[in-house]
Amino acid sequence: MTDTRDMTTVLADERRRLARVGTAERVTEILREQITAGRFAPGTRLSEEKIADALGVSRNTLREAFRLLGHEKLVVHELNRGVFVRVLTAEEVSDLYLLRQIVECSALVLAARSGTPDLTRVVNAVEQAETAAVEKRWHEVATLDLQFHQELVALAHSPRLDDLMRRLLAELRLAFHIMSSSGQFHEPYVLRNRNLVTLLQHGKADDASRELQSYLKDALSQLLRAFTGGETTAE
Amino acid sequence: MTDTRDMTTVLADERRRLARVGTAERVTEILREQITAGRFAPGTRLSEEKIADALGVSRNTLREAFRLLGHEKLVVHELNRGVFVRVLTAEEVSDLYLLRQIVECSALVLAARSGTPDLTRVVNAVEQAETAAVEKRWHEVATLDLQFHQELVALAHSPRLDDLMRRLLAELRLAFHIMSSSGQFHEPYVLRNRNLVTLLQHGKADDASRELQSYLKDALSQLLRAFTGGETTAE
DNA sequence: GCATATTTGTCCGTATGTATA
DNA sequence: CTATACATACGGACAAATATG
Report the pLDDT averaged over residues B118-144: 95
Burial class (CB in 10 A: 0-12, 13-18, 19+), A19: exposed
DSSP secondary structure of A24-37: HHHHHHHHHHHHHT
Residues B128, B196: one domain?
yes
Contact B68 A63 (CB under 8 A): no
Footprint of strand C on the protein (CB under 7 A): A 22-24, 56-61, 79-81; B 17, 45-49, 59-60, 63, 77, 79-82
Q: pLDDT tens-digit profile of B198-211?
A: 999 999 999 999 99
Is residue B154 over pLDDT 60? yes
What pLDDT, on the 0 to 100 scale, is given for residue A180?
Answer: 61
Residue % of chain A over a pLDDT of 90: 54
**Å separating the CA of residue A66 from the C1' of nucleotide D9:** 16
> What is the C-alpha separation between B181 and B140, in angstroms, rounded?
13
Q: Please state at what angle helix B159-176 crosses helix B138-154, rounded to 10 degrees.
A: 160
> Is B37 part of a structural domain of the chain?
yes
> Is A17 part of a structural domain of the chain?
yes
Residues A45, A119: one domain?
no
Residues A115, A195: one domain?
yes
> Is B150 part of a structural domain of the chain?
yes
Of B53, B85, B117, the domain-final residue: B85
Residues A106, A78: one domain?
no
Is residue B10 over pLDDT 90? no
Least confident of A52-56, B31-35, B95-99: A52-56
> Is B156 part of a structural domain of the chain?
yes
Is residue B2 over pLDDT 80? no
Residues B76, B157: one domain?
no
What pLDDT, on the 0 to 100 scale, is given for residue B21?
Answer: 78
Mean pLDDT across chain B: 88
Closest CA to A35 of A165, A151, A172: A172
Is residue B1 over pLDDT 50? no
Give the residue numbers spanning the domain of B74: 7-85
> What CATH number should be reported for the domain holding residue B160?
1.20.120.530
Mean pLDDT across chain A: 85
Considering only CB atoms, which residues of chain A are within 8 Å of chain B? 17, 20-22, 24, 60, 63-64, 67-68, 71-72, 78-79, 95-96, 98-99, 102-103, 106, 110, 158-161, 164
> Is B2 part of a structural domain of the chain?
no
Nearest CA in chain A to B160: A95
pTM across the whole model: 0.88
Q: Please state at what angle helix A59-71 crosses helix A23-36, rounded to 10 degrees.
A: 50
Cross-chain CB nearest to A64 (options B17, B67, B78): B67
What pLDDT, on the 0 to 100 scale, is given for residue B204?
Answer: 93
Nearest CA in chain A to B59: A60
**pLDDT-derived band of residue A88, with 50, 70 and 90 as boundaries?**
very high
DSSP secondary structure of B170-199: HHHHHHHTTSTTHHHHTHHHHHHHHHHHHH
Is residue A19 over pLDDT 50? no
Residues B108, B188: one domain?
yes
Residues A33, A78: one domain?
yes
Nearest CA in chain A to B159: A95
Q: Considering Cα of A88, then A90, then A94, then A95, what sign does the dihedral take? A: negative
Report the pLDDT averaged over residues A95-111: 97
Count: domains in chain A: 2
A83 residue type, one letter? V
Residues B80, B114: one domain?
no
Residues B100, B70: one domain?
no
What pLDDT, on the 0 to 100 scale, is given for residue B79?
Answer: 87
Burial class (CB in 10 A: 0-12, 13-18, 19+), B59: middle
Q: How far is B125 from chain A (nearest CA, A)?
A: 25
Q: pLDDT tens-digit profile of B156-207?
A: 999 999 999 999 999 999 999 877 665 678 888 999 999 999 999 999 999 9
Contact A79 B24 (CB under 8 A): no
> What CATH number should be reported for the domain holding residue A55?
1.10.10.10
Report the pLDDT averaged over residues A111-118: 91
Residues A114, A190: one domain?
yes
> Is A172 part of a structural domain of the chain?
yes
Residue % of chain A over a pLDDT of 70: 86
A29 or B193, higher pLDDT: B193
Of A50, A85, A120, the domain-final residue: A85
- B20, closest nucleotide (Cα–C1'): C18
Chain A residues near residue B68 by CB distance under 8 angstroms: 67, 71
**Å separating the CA of residue A228 from the C1' of nucleotide D4:** 38
What pLDDT, on the 0 to 100 scale, is given for residue B233?
Answer: 42
Is residue B134 over pLDDT 50? yes
Q: How far is B38 from chain A (nearest CA, A)?
A: 23
> Is B1 part of a structural domain of the chain?
no
Report the pLDDT averaged over residues B65-87: 92
Residues A95, A19: one domain?
no
Report the pLDDT averaged over residues A159-171: 95
- B62, closest nucleotide (Cα–C1'): D9
Of B55, B85, B115, the domain-final residue: B85
**pLDDT-derived band of residue A14, with 50, 70 and 90 as boundaries?**
very low
